[in-house]
Structure 1
Amino acid sequence: PGLKKLHIDQICNGQCSVYSVVLSELAVRLARLTPTMSDQTLDYFLSLMRISRRDAAEVTWAHAVNSRRKLEDTLTGPTHMMEADIIMRGCDPKEPIMAHPPDTDSDITLKEWLEEVKAHDKGIKLDFKSLEAVSPSLAVLEGVLTDLSRPVWINADILSGPGGQARPLEPQAFLSAATILPPRTVLSLGWTTGWTAGTDNPGYDWEMVHGMEEICRTVKNPVTFPVRAALLAQSFPQLRWLLQQSDRYTLTVWTGQNDSYTLQDFLPYKQEIDSSKIYYDLSDC
């Protein structure tokens, strides 16, 4: 309904571009008719009475849970979500391990890590810096973690963002690998970024958010966009627009180690965006 009809003579008279636009619009509409899943993270912690209301700011985070000692401490601690990094071991046996580059080894594999997590009620966020580790890791995840109610987030930077120097993961390759995951799995899809003190750092521009939305509009999973706290003040119109494109979308605010920002930078987001739509991954700052 509402789609413009085209006759064959119109197509033959050089109006192929219009035809392409209509087909593109039809594809988007069909994608939106396919069942999708919204973020269930807050519902999970509410059901356990670990948070008091549907406010994503109540969710707390532990970072770089990449060793046995850190895992043990975190599992018995108060945080809701555990963030960890996955790479392939740099020597034999080649398998997914918990480590962040430039490290190439760890005292715990992904399989061992997940086996420990199973006995607890924490949510997890697994961060990938290379495609090499994605498919083997997701196969392990699917085999070990069978509790479908637990929040599971899968994170990767898939586009270049403001000041970003690192090479992003290829978007379609990452999303294709993620199709084996349950539909409630949250895909945390971000931009590579950079920030330099004492300079005028650009924010997320319209091209960046339009590019991200084009990739994510046909994804059926809930999607959170990790956004850098130091870039929020100059990016409000763009990020507000991005959230408005789907009820599957949320933001997760994070900060770099030496970033500078003020709580006032968050005010437009707190005042104009539903509190269930913005997580604040700032606990180590």
Structure 2
Amino acid sequence: MQSTLITPLSTALLFSDRKEFVETTFLCLVDETPTRERMEEGDNSQREENGTGGMEEMQNRVKQPAESDRRDSYSEKEKEQRVYLRCLTRKQLLVMSAAVGLTLLLIIIITVTAVVVSNKSGSPGPLPSFPTDGDMLDFLVETGEISAADGLLATWYHRANNKSEMNKALASDVMILEADVNMDRPQTPNQKPVPIMAHPPAVQSDNTLDQWLDAVLQSRKGIKLDFKSLASVGPSLELLSEKNRSRGIDRPVWLNADILTGPNVPDFIPPVNGTGFLHLIQEKFPDVTLSPGWKVLYSPISPATYTRSMVEEMYDMIRNVQQKVTFPVHAMLVRRSWQHFSWLLSQSSRFSLTLWQGSIHPNVSDLLFVRDNSHPARVYYDIYEPTLSAFKQAARQQGRLRRFYPGGDLMTYFYHTGSSDADFLSRGNHLESPGSDRDRDRDSLAIHWSTVTDRASLMAQLSAGGGGMLLVRVRSDSDQPAVPLVEGSGQTSDLLTLQDLLELVGSRTDASWGVYLRVQTQQLLEASLRLLDEAYSREQLYRPVWIGMEAPHSRYNTQEFVSAVERLFPYVTLVLTEDSWPPQIPTAVRGLSQRLALHLKAQSLPSQEEVPNMQMTGRYDLIVEEEKEERREEDRKSSAEALSGFKERVTQHMGRTDSRLYVISH
């Protein structure tokens, strides 16, 4: 192609004066005598032909001026005819130099254009060596598809099964191809069934898994295979293994199957056998990312969502696998069951979520909620347009409302530095953190706790800036025993109801204050939970919420307390009050998805020599309450260090590091 482009241009320029070029070339080939010498020889020959005598001399005298002029003309002509490279004149050399320069410029332009067009068209290019069980986001970053390890940046193509859809997907700019694997129905008794690319109920396809893999491996796309039956898993894994040995699969491979029954699915619709699915993968092709999911039917009229038992059953099935695991979760249901998925993500750094949708588009606010309560690298968003674009635009918005999960970690709330995509990309791919575990513990001791007794004390805290936790003791009035009131209000000022307090706090999105409710009775507890649910539904409760009974848990029915929370408003941290050491953790709170906090009295703490003996659930926090007279001002620092030492001993004994220690002083 280059010679075709160069030859016409160079030929036209070099032969612009054809006669002069031919004559000069001929002289270069026949005689290498300098031009001036040839001119002088020509003059001598001419003089010999003119004869002798006086007439000749007279003629010579007459011709002298003309000859002088002619020599001057020869001198000018000599300059023009001076040769370079032994055969080119100055003019020809200039023409050739210009032609070469233009040719080189043309080659550069053509090369750059070809590279740009090739990249834009998604043409295959060399891929970095990447393992099949590697992280999908790391792969997309290495191949230059995305700028940061962020699940929102990854794009998907669904049901790229038959050759037409597959080719359309390969020609698109999507990054990950998702296709369904099924077994074909042999046409003859002697025909062996092979894995084909088809979504049930189809059992015929113009595309086999073998052909599909050959085509996709010529591209730069990630691979996700969805298995609709256990029968297709074994042969497909054998093919993957053989393909990896023969040519190498240089990209991540995800293997998906719905192995458990999820929300709204009747019992007569069976999932893929989970035990068999996982066993075959470990046996035949273990170097993959697992994507075990729930079979789900979404109904807008049904309140059913993922339950704690569903999530715990899934965890029990995969807790001992070594691969990375991404759990596909219906986007319309994830927010209502976030307490369970938040717990699931906390069990291993290898776990992630992949949100998917059906025909009904999810709410952008719900997607932002997930975004704001998870690390960007641990949630993928397999969402359709136009919702996906609206979601991305909202996520990039600077200064937007942060949708904090009320049952989340206090330290995540108070030490969060940003909520937009721009914030994440500017920080890089690292989890936001105040520092090491020890630094975080010291920071937790610095959290300010302020008791609210009336409207004036509440407004003073909301207007002062800063932030912390508002400690609210909830009581009732004899005239209205079911109306939650703020204890202390009504004595020297108007009554402040809990509803008024939640509305005032909810209107101040700029004030970083959480709420800790300590309730006197079960009736007030249920009324308070309903108010919390109403505020949350109005999107006015994106802040930490702790709730517990005022009395030690040994004096009330813990099961009723837990049941009320689970039924009315489960998005909280549950607090149990203890008045002795060691605390006795009730059976009712063991295995909860929510965070658990123990409220202790300072005088009940063990001495330095005592070894704590605690049987606790997973994520827990410790609150130590002390009166001011029990803590001298000059001993404030040493007291904080002693409390921190207590927490370290407890954590070391339990073998956990995700608990926090907080101090409330009066």
Alignment TM-score, normalising by the size of structure 2 = 0.36
Q: Of residues 344, 349, 370 in structure 2, which corresponds to 1:247?
A: 349
- Does 2:285 correspond to 1:181? yes
Give the distance between the partners of 2:152 and 2:212, measured in 1 at CA: 26
Q: 1:167 aligns with which of 246, 257, 270?
A: 270
Q: 2:243 touches 2:249 (CA, 8 Å); kept in 1?
A: no
Shift of 1:267: 2.5
Structure 2 counterparts to residues 24-103 of structure 1, below 5 A: 40-92=135-187, 93=191, 94-103=193-202
d(CA) in 1 for partners of 2:303, 2:233:
31
Secondary structure of 1:219's match?
Answer: coil
Contact persistence 1:163–1:201 (CA under 8 A): no
Deviation at 1:171, TM superposition (A): 1.1
- Partner SS for 2:354: strand
Cα 1:140/1:250, change in 2 over 3 Å: same
Within 1, Cα distance between the matches of 2:232 and 2:368? 38
Q: What residue in structure 2 maps to residue 106 of structure 1?
A: 205
Cα 1:284–1:131, aligned 2, differ >3 Å: closer, same or farther? Answer: farther
Unaligned runs of 5+ in 2: 1-131, 387-666
- Cα distance per residue 1:200-257 (max 9 Å; x no partner): 3311111011111111110111111000011112111111111110111000000112
SS of 2:336's equivalent?
A: coil
Aligned to 2:317: 215
Number of residue-to-residue matches in the alignment = 246
- The 2-side partners of 1:137 and 1:163 are apart by 30
Q: In the TM superposition, what whole-angstrom CA distance separates every residue of 1:2-24 from its partner, at most 9, and x where no partner exists?
A: xxxxxxxxxxxxxxxxxxxxxxx
Structure 1 residue 124, shift from structure 2 partner: 0.8
The correspondence for 1:158, drawn from 259, 281, 285, is: 259
Give 1:147's aligned residue.
Answer: 248
**1:13 maps to which residue?**
none
**Residue matched to 1:196:** 299
Aligned partners of 1:48 and 1:60: how far apart in 2?
14
Give the percent of matched residue pairs that are identical in Structure 1 and Structure 2: 37
Structure 1 match to 2:413:
none
Separation of aligned partners in 2, 1:261 and 1:172? 32
Q: Which residue of the partner structure matches residue 278 of structure 1?
A: 379
1:229 aligns with 2:328: no
Matched AA of 1:209: V
Q: 1:271 to 1:202 in 2, by over 3 A?
A: same
Name which of 204, 216, 219 aligns with 1:120. 219
Preserved contact between residue 202 and residue 234 of structure 1 (Cα < 8 Å): no
| SS at structure 1 position matched to 2:215 | helix
Higher helix share: 2
- Larger radius of gyration between Structure 1 and Structure 2: 2
Please give the alpha-carbon distance, in whole angstroms, between the structure 2 residues aligned to 1:123 and 1:204. 29
What are the ranges of 5 or more consecutive residues in structure 1 without an aligned counterpart? 1-36
Supply the RMSD in Å over aligned alpha carbons: 1.7
| Matched letter for residue 349 of structure 2 | D
- Quote how far apart the aligned CAs of 1:40 are: 0.9
Structure 1 residues 284 and 172: CA distance shift in structure 2, 3 A: farther
Give, in angstroms, the shift of residue 172 of structure 1: 1.0
What SS does the aligned partner of 1:234 have?
helix
Letter in 2 for 1:274: H
Ranked by relative contact order (alpha carbons within 8 Å, sequence separation 6 or more), the top structure is 1
Deviation at 1:282, TM superposition (A): 1.3
Distance in 2 (CA, whole Å) between partners of 1:74 and 1:201 is: 36
Paired with 2:303 and 2:195, the residues of 1 have a C-alpha distance of 35
Q: CA deviation at 1:72?
A: 1.2
Q: Deviations over 1:36-57 (max 9, x none)?
A: x986111111001100111111
Deviation of 1:284 (Å): 5.9
Deviates more, 1:157-166 or 1:41-50: 157-166
Contact 2:133 2:253 in 1 (8 A): no
Tell me whether 1:266 sits opposite 2:367 in the alignment.
Answer: yes
Q: Secondary structure at the match of 1:235?
A: helix
Return the alpha-carbon distance in structure 2 between the equivalents of residues 38 and 98 of structure 1: 22
Aligned to 1:231, the other structure's residue is in SS state coil
C-alpha distance in 2, partners of 1:144/1:253?
30
- Contact kept, 8 Å, 1:153 with 1:186, in 2: the verdict is yes
State the secondary structure of the residue aligned to 1:75: helix
**1:174-214, CA deviations, whole angstroms, 9 ceiling, x for partnerless residues?**
0011112243x1111000111113x1331111101111111
Which residue in 1 is equivalent to 2:229? 130
2: CA distance, partners of 1:108 / 1:193:
28
